[in-house]
Amino acid sequence: MFFWTLYPYVNGLMVKLNPYIQGLDSQLTALWESSANSA
């Protein structure tokens, strides 16, 4: 029951954070690929 009262707030927060998360993910992927190529 408690979860459903928090859900809209958490959902809105995730929508706001999503671009940052995707940007961080692509940066990590690029870093991983460059380190794999240099190894």
State both tokens at 34: 């460059």
Q: Residue 15 CA to chain centroid, in angstroms?
A: 10
pLDDT band at 39 (very low <50, low <70, confident <90, very high): confident
Output the pTM of the full model. 0.52
2-21 pLDDT, tens digit each:
777 888 999 999 999 999 99
Q: What is the DSSP letter of 1?
A: -
